[in-house]
Structure formats: structure tokens, C-alpha cells
Structure 1
């Protein structure tokens, strides 16, 4: 968000529960059928490689706007009832902006005129449990909303949006209802609460809308960043581990609330002290290359990133105190900006056939209608051009704002695409005089992929770095299959393709092999190794029974504890080969799936093979971790079809 770290910078330099929802609020909110004339698409949405697709497999490009307000507009000091203490002088009263001055149908018509098909709808956790109705003045243009709590107003907005045919992505923007994003108590998902409580709120809200199929996604948390003392991280396993927290919340949403939702995970927005000579920066999605997410429901993961010209990969966006000599995005040449965007985010969608391949949604970018500087305007031209050339999914920030000056002149929140004065008169990119109109129109009309998207090969990373990683609903339903061990299981419909010699990571890929009856076999000894079939002499071999293939594994410390095998729906060829990887990498040419265990030796069966066993040794001076795989040929493609 635009105020990124402005408040936190000065302070940093100087300092170097379960949701109690009322019965009325817990009721399922109303919904309306989609309006005629809306863009044709069929929910639910899912992903195929780098693309989001609808239920018919057709590309659905997110052309979105951020309709903010429900996350809070108060700047954190002064009288909350005084608009001067709110961002851009706009008191949102904890609900989406504009409801005081424009009827909902008119707002939605303007959204459609902008060319949008989807809305990112921020909220705060405080909003979910605020019992006081909003002031009548806050919904003056929509009198039917009088007497409702902020959550009930949010319900009505969701119903209106989805009834008009828009896809809605819920966005947990803040913990408390106040403006983001500095040192404001909203730095992390678990600021002032536990990760479990945060996930509880997500389960509550996604259950609330699960009967509305046009609510298509959950954007887990906005701009995770440093607080006064601590940085967030990606994979350290502690209370600040954003990767692990996102995995936990995502799996709970998909298993306890709604398996049809897209799960949106934003990268880390900021770490470190913004002082020259001190470590600091904006990792965004760079850690995804080595540690991605494998969710319990496949093809639901979307990664996201935010880009504003006044910030940079190592620039906080501050001016004066807290400003470093690092480049802002708007300071870069066209080539530098393109490479930086790729390195920070776009590699995730551009590099297909990797465990991290997913759609990338640029869920915030924007600039002011009153911006006259050459560098910011050039940056906006370059960014919108890049979004168009890369056929990216995007969401402008913000969609709606107040106009506080003469009609047609920038005023109030000049960044908003649509501004409305107290009489409901509109100004912005749909009206004359806004320099951004041509750039916005160019982005909307740029050619991009449409129609059916063929399903390709998917790859999934498993990690047991700090906890179990069971991505299989079928296996979860069977309970703990190796109590006390660290366990990893491929998603349903996938098979184990590779293992790391140390570190506990694995790689899965699509198979279509598993029998629909489910079930599995836990292998802890050599009982299924046939006489004369010693494929790893001197090593302990955990081999699947005939007709089964490896879908998971468990470890006790470094030592292999068990192999998990699943029955196939067809006969599986025997024979095969031993693939050793205890003294070096042993992977197919090109490394399909990408590097799933950076810095570790790895073994991986060919794409035309399945893993039927794991071998290891407990010899003195040897590591008891995976050392070899038994790779056997897959059935022919006609059988797997």
C-alpha cells in the first residue's frame, strides 16, 4: 500500500481469539444470481500452470480493482470521527468506500465500465467482530444498509458484486481497522494473536461465503513486513515464518471451509532496518524459487506481489528519515526494471514445469491522477506495458476514493481510478482530463490468452524441514500412519518422483495412477523385496508391494522410517533400475520440476518411470537418509489416459 513503512521508518531508527461472532452476523449472507451482460465464466476457479481457469478450463484473467475501506482508513492518532485523521481525509467507517455517496448499482456499473471482472475486497479481523452498526451517514446513498454492522455491510457488498457477475477475492488486509502499512500493529498475520486464531478467522469467513460460488479466492495477508523488533521469514519454522503460516491457513481453509477457493499468497514485503549499511530489502516472491507451497487441494495456489514506483527492491519508499541510497523502481532503466520484476515475481509464472510454477497476480499497483513527475509517469508506462506484454493478472489500488475539490480536478484520494464527491459526481479514468486513461485502456485492450488451457504436467515440492507435510486428503483421512516420525505425502493424483539425500525434501508429479478406492500400505521392512530381487545390495530397502507405487515417506531425524505406497488402478510393470544419489545428483536431463532441494544431492526417476522403493543404510560413518530409488517403467500412455 502507498504508505508503506513511512511510519515504521522513524521509529525503527530511534529504537534500532476465536471469533465471537453474534448470531445475527453468523447467519449465511444473501446472494443474488449473476446479472445479464457480465463476462461469461463458470466458477469455481483453479489453476493450470501459470494460468487461472474457470470450471470449463477456459482462461480467466484477473482484471481487478481493490475496493478498500473495510480494512480501515484511520491513520492511528486523533479523533476517529474526524475525517482529517483518516487517509486522504476519507473516513471509511470500516466498510468499502463510497457507500455514503453512490448507490451500489451505480458503483458496480462504473466498475464494469472500467473493464473489471474481479474485485479484491480487503477486510480487517476487527471488522469481523465489531458489534456496533455503522453510522447512517456512512451508507447515506444506500439506505437499505442502515442499522447493519460492518460485517453485514460487507456481506451486502459481496452479494451485490457477485450478483453483478464479478469474481470476489477476500483479502485479509489488517488485524485492526486502521490504515496500512507501517508500524501500525498489523505487520504480520499474527500481530497481537496466534497463527491459529488468524486461521480461525479465515475458516469463519470462508465458511460464511462457501455457498456463493462467485467468491473465488482468499488472499491470506497483506504486505507481511518487519515490526519494531522482528523480521518475517520464509521457512525458518518459527513464529515469524510466513511460508509455514500460509501453508497452515490454506490447508485449513481448503479442508474445513471451502475446497473450491483459490489461495493467494503474497511474498514478504520488507525485512531489516532501512539504513545504509544494514541488511534490508523487499524479497517479494524470490524465496519461492527454493521453497514453494504444495496445498492439500491441488491447482488452487496463486502467488501475488505489489509494485509501486516510489519503492524499490531495497528502498522502503521513504523520503528523508529512513531513506537509503538504494534505487526506487521509478529510478531504473527499462531493462533494469524488467529484469527486477522478473527476479522478484514474474519468474514464478514465466518458468513453466517447475515446482513453483503458478499464476502471479500483481494485486496492487497504482499512481496519482495529480502525478506530474516524469520518472513516476515513465515507471507507470513501463509497468502497465510489462503487465500487458506478459499477459499478467493484476489489480489496481485503489478503485474508489473521495473527491474533495472541484469536479474534474484531482482531489481527495487522487490515486483512485474512480473518485466521487459528496453529491456522487464522478471523476477519474472514465472521465476527461485523467492522464492515466490511455495507460489503463492500453492494459485492458492488450492481447492475451483466452479460451481453453490444456492441462500440463504439474510438479509439487514436499518439505519436512520443521513439520509434517501431508498434501493428500485420502491419506489424512486414514490418520497418523507413522506416529512420531516426520512425514511427507504427495497430493492425491500425484506420485513421488524424487528425493533429496539429506534435508527431507521430495518432489512429486502427476500420475493418474492411484486406485479410486484409496488405501495405502506403510512399508517398514523388506518383506516386499522378492527373492533374487536385491536392487541395492547391502542397503535396507523399503519396497512397495506389487501393483503399488510410492506416494510418501517418513523420517526419524535423518533415518528413513517408512515408505508410503498406494495401490494403482492398473497393473504396474516390474523390473526397473536402481537410481543412486548419495554421492551426487542423479536427475533427468533438464531437471524437470526444478531444484527442489537446493544445495543437497537429489535423485529423480525419469518422467516415464514411477518410484517403487527407497533404499538407505545404517552403516557406521554413513548417513541413514535416502540413498537410492527403485525406478520402474510406467504403464503406456493408453493405459493412463
Structure 2
């Protein structure tokens, strides 16, 4: 869609005067298609959001918690969404509509969920309807008010203890001040509490995972500090409770000691290229990242203790900033048809507005906004709400009030960020119906069972007792396998979802009873029966134990070929990406399925997969690049 300059100017005028006072219509729940978030009608739903903090805590952790001076920027939220003490909630929501946003990232702490002490009357003086409620009950009512206005709400587990984030404060990891099981239990409590409100669209699992005093978080390193594993396991439980909800996983915010000469960095989403998430329900994963001018790729953001000579983001040239943002985060969304491809939500960014404008901060903010516009990125500003008295206070917020309820907002005349915000919020990017795209997902048995099929979990349970098992999500098939046996690649390429028959029948193959022609001479071959395709497998050590075969909803082809990968990589193409870095691997073409796996336990061989039988997906010969028959053109490669 094209707009004239006059039309854009009129639109911005309407926004800044508050005449546009409603969130555009959309249909929940939300899902993903490739790099885009879409609504239930398949239309793009760009996350244009902001953070409404407070319910995760504002106390700095020292001094009297009831003294406002001991809260960040002297803003005491009393473990509720900030602003309710001085401003009627409808006025706050009006200001959000005026900003033009459609999504609220809504923080909570685990401690708040269990706080049974009613809020004091003075804390909700501008909202007397909240008197006598607990902080959680206030949170409930605010969520309903937001969603009644049409906002999408993404609940964010920001902290465990009700403290201002983020430092060495007992909130560094999801299990820093509580057990992993408690973290998951609290998430299930939250998800079930809002399950019937379909405009509560997402679960943002944890905020800014970072090093504590002794331990760095890892991405796939195993053990208690493994954020990739913890978020995968937590997401699985949440998806079983509410398969409609988006799962938002933020990258690792910080590792190492911030001391010159010692290793330290901000990994963000860089490890996702080698190890991504595979959810039980496809089309529900969103990754997220945070960027501030005063932090950097190797700078903690500190001044004084913890400060190093590394560059901050505001020190980078425009070109270098764009390159770093691509490599740290945006590549996940911008690289198509990889196992890691997903929307990336820039769920925190911000800069001081009123009260100070550093030249480098202003340049960074302008460049950052330009980057968001150019890459059509989903975003959420931090923070939406703050307090200012005669221009003194938290100048970071887009909307500020004083103790009398007087507003000093972004559009009230003297905020230098207004032009950049209008550029950002007025940039629509891709709109309308988003086309279906192929799914590519990892199977990773690196740390144990990885059965990502809801049907197999429900109906078949432990299909190979004592073995380590992996199974593709219900709508995907196995298309690649590594020689080490711990990694596989799943897809719905060429056929799309629906290949598994409605009866959800499976057969666990553990011998050669279905083998006809000898397609791997001298090797043991586990082959699916006619009408079945491989959707998973099990191993004992590295030795193949069984192949999981699923009943197809259509007549499958029989034209086959053997793909060997015990001496080197033998992938059909680069679609799906390198699903097993530093390992030999093989994969079938996009119009094929795996019909069998061959291995050997002879001298000097350990039983790891050595070859796969790739079989044509459809019973007629496919013209792979130009076929026009409907079933084979669900996703056409060319």
C-alpha cells in the first residue's frame, strides 16, 4: 500500500492529537509464519508495544521498602502497574492508545503472585475500585481492562523477588531464588489463570538471563544453568496447558566478569543458529532481545564498578550498529527457512527523553529506530509510564504524571523523541495476509529424550523403554539425521501439515521385517512399512535403537535412493540450516521422506546412523521445481 506525504502527515497528526483512540481490530489467538506474527485470520500482527512495569517490583533492595527514595527513580509502584496511585486507569489506557501501540509487555514477579497482603488505600488513591485487593487481583483487573480495549497482552516473568532489575540481585536466572519446578509451577498458574482471555497472547519466559556471582548461564551446556534447556522444558509444560499461547524466549543477556582482560560478552541470540527451540505446537515461538545505548556487545552498561573500555552501542557507527544487531539478534528473523527462523521481538529499548539529551544517545536512538523501520521489526519501548514533577524524575517514560495527576506525555510539547517515535509507529511494514511457509525444526537428543509430538506423548508414551527418544512435532516429518545420532531435522516442506493420518497410528521398527531391496548392503536396516514415514527415532548411546514411523494420510511414493553420511556431510540443500554443527549429517530432498535408517555394529563401527533411505513423497514422479499438481506445490522450492 502506498501513501502520499500528505496522508502520512494527516495520520501522524491524528495520532499525536489522540483522535485515533482505538487499537485496530485483530482476531486472537496469535501464531507465527516464518518471521511474522499473525492473528487467527492469518493477517500480520506487528507487535508495536511498550512495557508497563511495576508489578515486578521497583524497590532497589536496600533501605525501607515503604520509602519512595529507596525505589528506582523514586517511583514506588507498590508491586502494581506503575501509575495507579495518581492516575485513573482509563487515562493511562487512553495514553497507550494515543501512542499508537497494540501490545503491552506486562511484568510480574514470582513474589507478587504469592503476596496476599491487600494494597493500602493510599496506593490506589486514583483508582478506589482497587481498594482491598491484593497486588495479583489488581494485576487481574488491569489485564482485563487492557484486553477489553483491544490490546494484546504478553505477560513477562521479569523477576523472582520484587526488586528493580537488573544486577546481581537474586534474580539473575529463572531459578536463582527458587527451584526450576517452582518457576514452572508459577508459570502454569499464570497461564491457566488467563487461559480464557485469548487476548493474553504470550508468555515471555524470563527477563535478561545473566551471570550471578559465580556462574554463567549457558545455551545448551546442560545442568542447572542451561537457559536453552530450561526454557525448552518450561515451554513444553506451558504449551500443554495452553496450546494457543505464544512462547517468547529472550537470549542470554550477559556472561563473564566485566573486567578488562577477562572474557565477557552479551551473547543475546547468537547461539540460536546452532541450537534452537522446537515447541510441541508449531508456529508459536518468538525470540526476543534488548538493546540500550549505554550497553554494548561486550559492555555491561555499568559506570564505575563493572565498567570496561569496550564500546557501548552508542559508540558504534550506524553501519557497525546495524551489523551488530543483525549478528546478535535479527538474523533469526531475516534468514528464511532455517531451523531457527522465527519472529524477533525487540522487547526492550529506550533512551532518556525529558531531563537530558546526550548527543551520542540521540544519534543512537535515531539509528536504532531507522533499523527497526528498515527491518520491519516487532518492538516494545521501555518504559511506558513514569513520574515527573516539574520536569524532574524519570525522563525515560513516554507518558509521565505527577502526584496531582498532571500529565507530561510524549506529545505534550517538549520531548525530543517525538519525531523518531512517529517514524517508528507510522511504519506499517508488511501488512495483510501472510503466506504459509515451511517449518524446519531441530530434534536434539543431546541431553535426553526430546519427544515433541503431543500425540506420541499422549498415546504412545515411552515407545522404546530405556532408550533416548526423539519425535518430530505432530505436523512434521523427519528429513535429516546426524551420524552422531543426537540431532535430527524435521519439516513439512512440499506437503505441508496434515501428512500424518487422522488415526495417528505409529509403528516402532526395531528389525528388518519391512526391508525389501537391499538399499544398504552389509548394514542393518530399519525400514518403515508401506504407507508409513519416519517421524522419530531412539538411540542407546550413539547406536540406533528404533525408528518411529507414522501412518501417512495419503499414498506415498516408492521411488527411493540411499543417502550416505558416515564419511561426510550429504545434505540435499541448505534449507533448514546446519542442524548438527561439527557432525556429519545427511538429509533428503524437500519432496522426499525418510523411509529407513541404516547402521552397522561391525568391527570399528558403533551402530550410529550411516545412511538414510530417501523416498519420493508422492506416488508419481515429481518435477521438483515446476510441478503444478496441488499436493506437491504446497511449498514449491523455486
Pairs within 5 Å for 1:530-549? 530=516, 533-549=517-533
Q: Which residue of 630, 634, 638 corresponds with 1:638? A: 630
Q: Which residue of 198, 204, 224 corresponds with 1:239? A: 224
Q: Is the 8 A contact 1:462 1:505 kept in 2?
A: yes
For residue 609 of structure 2, give the secondary structure of its aligned residue in structure 1: coil
The corresponding residue for 1:601 is: 584
CA distance in 2, matches of 1:82, 1:36: 36
The corresponding residue for 1:287 is: 271
The corresponding residue for 1:529 is: 515
CA distance in 2, matches of 1:197, 1:238: 17
Q: Is the 8 A contact 1:371 1:377 kept in 2?
A: no
For residue 476 of structure 1, give the secondary structure of its aligned residue in structure 2: helix
Q: Is 117-126 or 447-456 further displaced after alignment?
A: 447-456
CA distance in 1, matches of 2:631, 2:112: 53
For residue 113 of structure 1, give the secondary structure of its aligned residue in structure 2: helix
CA distance in 1, matches of 2:476, 2:540: 24
CA distance in 1, matches of 2:464, 2:446: 17
The corresponding residue for 1:504 is: 486
Q: Structure 1 regions of 5+ residues with no counterpart? A: 1-34
The corresponding residue for 2:127 is: 142
CA distance in 2, matches of 1:133, 1:39: 36
1:321 Cα deviation from its structure 2 partner:
2.1
1:639 Cα deviation from its structure 2 partner:
4.0
For residue 159 of structure 1, give the secondary structure of its aligned residue in structure 2: helix
CA RMSD of aligned residues (A): 1.2
Does the C-alpha gap of structure 1 residues 36 and 422 become closer, same or farther in structure 2, counting only changes over 3 Å? Answer: closer
Q: Is the 8 A contact 1:474 1:519 kept in 2?
A: no
Q: Structure 2 regions of 5+ residues with no counterpart? A: 1-19, 621-628
Q: Is the 8 A contact 1:475 1:519 kept in 2?
A: no
CA distance in 1, matches of 2:616, 2:78: 63
CA distance in 1, matches of 2:541, 2:564: 21
Q: Is the 8 A contact 2:21 2:94 kept in 1?
A: no
TM-score by length of 1: 0.92
1:36 Cα deviation from its structure 2 partner:
9.4
Q: Which residue of 446, 451, 466 corresponds with 1:484? A: 466
The corresponding residue for 1:52 is: 37
The corresponding residue for 1:515 is: 501
**Cα deviation digits, residues 416-448 of structure 1 (max 9, x gap):** 010001111111312101000011011011240
The corresponding residue for 1:367 is: 351
Q: Which residue of 258, 261, 268 corresponds with 2:252? A: 268
Q: Is the 8 A contact 1:583 1:601 kept in 2?
A: yes
Q: Is the 8 A contact 1:503 1:600 kept in 2?
A: no
For residue 627 of structure 1, give the secondary structure of its aligned residue in structure 2: strand
1:37 Cα deviation from its structure 2 partner:
4.1
Structure 1 residue 169 corresponds to structure 2 residue 154: yes
The corresponding residue for 2:281 is: 297
CA distance in 2, matches of 1:192, 1:96: 23
The corresponding residue for 1:5 is: none
CA distance in 2, matches of 1:438, 1:44: 32
The corresponding residue for 1:19 is: none
Structure 1 residue 446 corresponds to structure 2 residue 446: no
**Cα deviation digits, residues 210-265 of structure 1 (max 9, x gap):** 0000000000000000001111000011000000000111110110x211000000
1:371 Cα deviation from its structure 2 partner:
3.0
Q: Is the 8 A contact 2:21 2:97 kept in 1?
A: no
1:623 Cα deviation from its structure 2 partner:
3.0
Q: Is the 8 A contact 2:485 2:609 kept in 1?
A: no
The corresponding residue for 1:230 is: 215
CA distance in 2, matches of 1:639, 1:170: 40
Q: Which residue of 166, 175, 188 corresponds with 1:203? A: 188
Q: Which residue of 555, 559, 568 corresponds with 1:584? A: 568
1:503 Cα deviation from its structure 2 partner:
5.0
Q: Which residue of 316, 323, 332 corresponds with 1:332? A: 316
Q: Is 442-451 or 541-550 further displaced after alignment?
A: 442-451
Q: Is 205-214 or 615-624 further displaced after alignment?
A: 615-624
1:129 Cα deviation from its structure 2 partner:
0.2
The corresponding residue for 2:625 is: none
Q: Is the 8 A contact 1:183 1:227 kept in 2?
A: yes
Q: Is the 8 A contact 2:292 2:349 kept in 1?
A: yes
Q: Is 39-48 or 133-142 further displaced after alignment?
A: 133-142
**Cα deviation digits, residues 85-125 of structure 1 (max 9, x gap):** 00000111000000011111111111000001010000000
Q: Is the 8 A contact 2:598 2:609 kept in 1?
A: yes
CA distance in 2, matches of 1:149, 1:469: 40
CA distance in 2, matches of 1:458, 1:106: 43
1:513 Cα deviation from its structure 2 partner:
1.4
Q: Is the 8 A contact 1:570 1:639 kept in 2?
A: no
CA distance in 2, matches of 1:281, 1:639: 47
The corresponding residue for 2:414 is: 433
Structure 1 residue 67 corresponds to structure 2 residue 49: no
The corresponding residue for 2:401 is: 420
The corresponding residue for 2:559 is: 575
The corresponding residue for 2:70 is: 85
1:279 Cα deviation from its structure 2 partner:
1.0
For residue 162 of structure 1, give the secondary structure of its aligned residue in structure 2: helix
